[in-house]
Structure 1
Amino acid sequence: MKHDITSLKDFLSRKIKALAVFPALAIWLICGASATAWAADGFAPLLTIKEFRALPQNEVVLLDTRSTWRYLLGHIPGAQPTGDWQDYSVRRDGVPGFIDQDTATIARKLKAMGVDREKTLVLYGDPEDKWRTDGRFFWMLEFYGFTRTALLEGGVDSWENQGLPLERGPAPSPAASNLKAQDIQFNWDVYADQKWIADRLHSPNLALIDNREQNEYNGATPYGSSRGGHIPGAVHIDWREFYDARGRLKPLDTLESLLAKWKITKDKEVVVYCTGGVRSGMAYFVFRCLGYNVRNYDGSWWDWSRNPQLPVES
């Protein structure tokens, strides 16, 4: 995470700080020394099953971002279903996908899942899902100011592969937290919108990355966008290029080679986008891991393509 992220109020006990070293070492091995950019206290946002189980479970909120039916068929014990990512978004002028900025509404939804600012939030999704909504939720929670948020590597698949039990059916509701509307504090440093990008278009300090599929970048509109194409100057990197077939981050040298191909360097401000800021959430996670300054464009192509005043390349 960025060192200046809003409201670094979370203070951990010495015991938890010591445990946090182990996930940090794991990220170090995966992403190299740049992983120290995640957080000043050594917290790492990618946890293996072993590292997750080592954390004091009363200090953790485990969130399952998959579909309801997948959750009911089997989930990690104690996990709470988040619901659909769209439950935390709003429409503006007919455009879907914008992150909900009603702090009272967001606090009410997160509070019901036991989320508060003193706990570590661990998310998992479906590694084979081409949308991977856990990336959107990760970015969303960072935007809302939660500084101790992590993804669980491999999710349910890794859990089962280690012979660990699953729960089926609905989970008991947790005790509601004390989260209040004022606890939702927006971190604008991880957010980009139409105006922010348009004001900086063609700047040498901006790296725009389109994380959709190649045919979408070239002009296909399978999800009802107003126009086809991409934002001028954006390079195409399908978000899945960052991950292997099991949904795990590729080795550091592979990631570095991919970014070097497009001259994407750490001195640039990176903006990722897709159709509605969901797939780009997984790319956002990668750039945060690698220590880049990165923003997610929540309106993404649905928003940009709808404005006839904005330029398009195809």
Structure 2
Amino acid sequence: MCLICGGWTASWADTAQTPLLTLETLRTLPPTEVVVLDTRSTWRYLLGHIPGAQSTGDWQDYSVTRSGVRGLIDQDRNAIARKLKALGIDKNKIIVLYGDPTDKWRTDGRFFWMLEFYGFPRTVLLEGGLDAWESQGLPIERGPASPPGASDLKAEDIQFNSAVYADQEWIRQRLNTPELALIDNRERNEFDGATPYGSSRGGHIPGAIHIDWREFYDANGRLKPRDALEALLQKWNVRKDQQVVVYCTGGVRSGMAYFVFRYLGYDVRNYDGSWWDWSRNPNLPVES
């Protein structure tokens, strides 16, 4: 099914290599080269979505609980390949994600990081998401989408990208070094010690900088201009020669921050276990 009628001319090689995709650029991409994924809740998806977009389901469908820690990214290649293949994903397609700009968890960021970790570098977020689509008067599809395009994705195509991943041991070894910039993307009361999501302890990782992920976005959920984003990071002395690690409660909200740092060209990793994981280990230090 054609997402938009009228003019599919450019290939991915003709577009800017940026993780933020405009609606105008999406409309130039051949439909056979694109998979559009809606990361919102299933009920929102059924009420209306971009024609042909597939529903990803919940982010937790791609994560596991290990030793009591929720939110850890699933690293079972066979299981992941089956789920992604069912969405029409393969190694040759551009994966376009969109979510709900008013959602304070914005799971499209988690999916963006997840797909980069699984080895799909041609993954982008659609600027403005469904709101931008509707504002152009483009058609909306309701109910389930038509079946996705064929995919020959195999388990061996899932290639974990360790350069975008951090766990508690990786962080512990680099804690309190000038080369590491830890960014806590939760709400301020969580950073200060509140535990609204059942964490074992309150507080934050020592040395972490608090930047609520929503500070990167305007009131409509649109990414702020590049100069405003750079000014925010300069305020906290976050530099491009550092290794940036973002975290939240379970690596979901920090996924949106991960996207911002990728967009700006920083070397960034997401900590999937985040505070659920760190707070559970009594041997790890905590500040509050």
Name the TM-score class by shorter chain.
over 0.9
1:19 aligns with 2:3: no
1:18 Cα offset (Å) = 5.1
Please give the alpha-carbon distance, in whole angstroms, between the structure 1 residues aligned to 2:28 and 2:14.
Answer: 7
Instruction: Tell me if the contact between 1:19 and 1:54 (Cα under 8 Å) persists in the aligned partners.
Output: no
Q: Which residue of 2 aligns with 1:309?
A: 283
Of 237, 245, 266 in structure 1, the residue corresponding to residue 219 of structure 2 is 245
Aligned match of 2:176 = 202
Counterpart for residue 67 of structure 2: 93
Q: What is the DSSP-based 3-state SS (H/G/I as helix, E as strand, rest coil) of the residue aligned with 2:279?
A: helix
Contact 1:231–1:313 (8 Å) recurs in 2: yes
Q: Secondary structure at the match of 1:230?
A: coil
Q: Which has the higher helix share?
A: 1
Once the 2 structures are TM-superposed, how far is the Cα of residue 172 of structure 1 from its aligned partner?
2.0
Partner of 2:120: 146
In the alignment, residue 196 of structure 2 is paired with which amino acid?
P
Aligned residue type for 2:105: W
TM-score normalized by the length of structure 1 = 0.88
Give 2:158's aligned residue. Answer: 184
Residue 5 of structure 2 is matched in structure 1 by: none
Paired with 1:128 and 1:201, the residues of 2 have a C-alpha distance of 34
Instruction: Tell me the SS of whatever aligns to 1:54.
Output: coil
Deviation, structure 1 residue 95: 0.8
Q: Normalising by the residue count of structure 2, what TM-score does the alignment of the two structures yield?
A: 0.95
* Aligned residues of 1:138 and 1:150 also touching (Cα < 8 A): yes
2:135 equivalent to 1:161: yes
SS at match of 1:306: coil
Query: Is 1:271 equivalent to 2:245 in the alignment?
Result: yes
Other-structure match for 1:290? 264
Q: CA-atom RMSD, angstroms?
A: 1.1
Residue 33 of structure 1 is matched in structure 2 by none
CA contact (8 A) 2:12 2:29 kept: no
SS in 2 for 1:303: helix
Equivalent pair of 1:209/1:236 in contact (CA under 8 Å): yes
> Partner residue of 1:125?
99
Taking the TM superposition and a 5 Å limit, the aligned residue runs for 1:1-12 are none
Per the TM alignment, residue 173 of structure 1 is displaced from its structure 2 partner at its CA by: 2.0
How do residues 104-123 of structure 1 correspond to structure 2 at under 5 angstroms?
Answer: 104-123=78-97
Q: How far apart are 1:223 and its partner, in Å? A: 0.3
Tell me, yes or no, if structure 1 residue 299 matches structure 2 residue 273: yes
Matched, 1:171 2:166: no
Alpha-carbon distance, 1:130 to partner: 0.5
Q: Point out where structure 1 has 5 or more consecutive residues left out of the alignment.
A: 1-13, 25-42
Query: Which residue type is aligned with residue 19 of structure 1?
Result: D
Count of matched residue positions in the alignment of Structure 1 and Structure 2:
280
Aligned counterparts of 2:267 and 2:169: Cα–Cα separation in 1: 18
Q: Which amino acid aligns with 1:312?
A: V
How far is 1:247 from its partner? 1.2
Contact kept in structure 2, 1:145 and 1:184, CA below 8 Å = yes
Offset at residue 246 of structure 1 (A) = 1.3
Question: Cα 1:71–1:17, aligned 2, differ >3 Å: closer, same or farther?
Answer: closer
In structure 1, give the amino acid aligned to 2:88.
G
CA distance in 2, matches of 1:18, 1:94: 44
Alignment equivalent of 1:47, drawn from 21, 32, 43:
21
Contact 1:275/1:302, CA 8 A, preserved across alignment: yes
> 1:222 and 1:290 mapped to 2: Cα distance?
31
Against the structure 1 CA distance between its residues 175 and 55, is the aligned structure 2 distance closer, same or farther, given a 3 Å change threshold?
Answer: closer
